[in-house]
Amino acid sequence: MSKKDEKSPQVDEEELARLTAKVEKLVKKSQTKELQNLVKGKQPASNKPGSSKDEALMREKIQTLMQNLALMEQSGQLKNSNKKEMGDHKFWNTQPVPKHDELVTAIGPIEPSIPVDQVPKNSPTLPKEFEWCEIDMNSEKELKELYELLTMNYVEDDDAQFRFDYSASFLKWALQPPKWRKSWHIGVRVATNKKLVAFISGIPADMRTYNVTQPLVEVNFLCIHKKLRSKRLAPVLIKEITRKSHLEGIFQAVYTAGVVLPKPVGTCRYFHRSLNPKKLVECNFSRIPAKSTLTRMIKHYKVPDVTSTVGLREMKVSDAPEVRVLLNKYLERFDFAVVFETDEDVEHWICPHKDVVWSYVVEDPETHKITDMFSFYSLPSSVINNPKHSTLNAAYMFYYAIDVPESAKKTPADEIKYIRKRLNALIADALTLAKKANFDVVNTLDLMDNSLYVDEQKFGPGDGHLNYYLYNWKCPDVKRQKVGLVML
């Protein structure tokens, strides 16, 4: 991305106050209960007395204003920064992605697929001091090189206090699912000493956007050594993973980023649930609330010592076929979701992997049918320059599913009520199990039905947002509670 000539336009205090006042005015005019349902992700009860087109329009206005404020905050327009304007993405403006101001109403490719024999056979040219390579995930030496590159140069928070610390076993799980391709594990080395200085990856996935399901590439782990970020390697890496996927006949991709690019299909917010308040405070991850104490904080976040759900047990490989049916059915609730096409997909992604993934099912003691499942994975962070702690052990909520009985489906409100109650019971047990596994915090996004449990289970909103993007594929915007894809 090239440097821009002018600073991004800033929103002054008067403009921010005007936007905030608009939201407040609309909020006051709407019914309190309806607004609470909206914030918590409930479906509006349009058939209730008092519901009207005006109220629906009002809800839409509130959502639009809040989304605009969130986008402005993420893009740096609400603080004094030099981040890019929305239109100043010279690389992305050349790619088959929707424009920031484009209203998308259709579903389908932006550019047509091309015959594989017309895909360029050679990689794009790198600066002369670098060379392309493929990373062999089965080589301990190369896996260690990748681990070291990511550990020292990958995602860290704005204050440079925490940095993701992907273990070797995690990377093998993340990058070697069924039908993985070595050619999609792309690296850049220094030509003279062969040091690995950049990486990008792709894995095969099946995605459903509204009513269309198709194979695509999940692009992840774009990482460039900190000292080389002026070399403009990112666009070249993206072009290469695009070329490599085209050679396999796949012309669409999905990816996520904390920054705002053209154009998010959906945006979710991070939430955090403390399990070890003392350590989180010492790491500056959390702060003791005003007029409170650490002792009160520890008491507030204490979780039960034992689980409460009857029939809860660790998932087994033999559960994969039943879990696949249950999970795919539950994911039909969402407009932008992964599809688990084979039992092998479930065995790889959902079944427990030591120190990587924890998965549990609920088996009915009488029928032995699996009625529910949930999972979480481990992604610790290095704590930078902290005298007491070097690692923050974080669990991330992964996929879950609930079999909603027909008796609970009489109305949409009945179904939501059942899911809310059942999901809170399951997540409460997940917190107990995560605490037993020595996690310090459980993180989640407000996607899927997560808004139904974050408040009751004492998750607090974080500063981070995650934007979802599609490459060479367009679809209408997806609300956060309709996102059913968890990317690592």
Q: Tell me: the pLDDT tens digits for 53-73?
A: 565 566 566 656 655 655 555
pLDDT at 79: 45
pLDDT at 54: 60
pLDDT for 26 beyond 60: no
Residues 336, 268: contact at Cβ < 8 Å? Answer: no
Among 7-11, 91-95, 127-131, the least confident range: 7-11
The domain at 267-464 falls in which architecture?
Answer: 3-Layer(aba) Sandwich (3.40)
b/e sequence 381-404, b meaning 16+ C-beta within 10 Å: bbbeebeebeebbbbbbbbbbbbb
Catalytic residue among 171, 175, 426, 488: 488
Q: pLDDT (tens digit, 9 = 90+) per residue, 231-244? A: 889 999 999 999 99
pLDDT at 89: 80
Q: pLDDT (tens digit, 9 = 90+) per residue, 121-163? A: 999 999 999 999 999 999 999 999 999 999 888 876 666 788 8
Q: pLDDT (tens digit, 9 = 90+) per residue, 367-389? A: 999 999 999 999 999 898 888 99
Give whole-number Cα distances, 112 to 109, 123, 210, 312, in Å. Answer: 6, 21, 20, 48
Average pLDDT, the chain: 87
pLDDT at 291: 87
Reported pTM: 0.83
Helix and strand counts by DSSP (H, E) for the chain: 11, 17
Q: Who wins on pLDDT, 432 or 43?
A: 432
Per-residue confidence at 474, pLDDT binned at 50, 70, 90?
Answer: very high
Residues 191, 201: contact at Cβ < 8 Å? Answer: no
Domain positions in the chain are 13-74, 92-257, 267-464
CATH 3.40.630.30 fits 92-257, yes or no: yes
pLDDT at 57: 63
Could you confirm whether 488 is annotated as catalytic? yes
* Residue partners of 469: CB distance under 8 A and separation at least 6: 97, 254, 255, 256, 257, 261, 263, 264, 265
Asked, colleague to colleague, whether 92-257 and 267-464 share their fold, the answer is yes
pLDDT at 62: 60
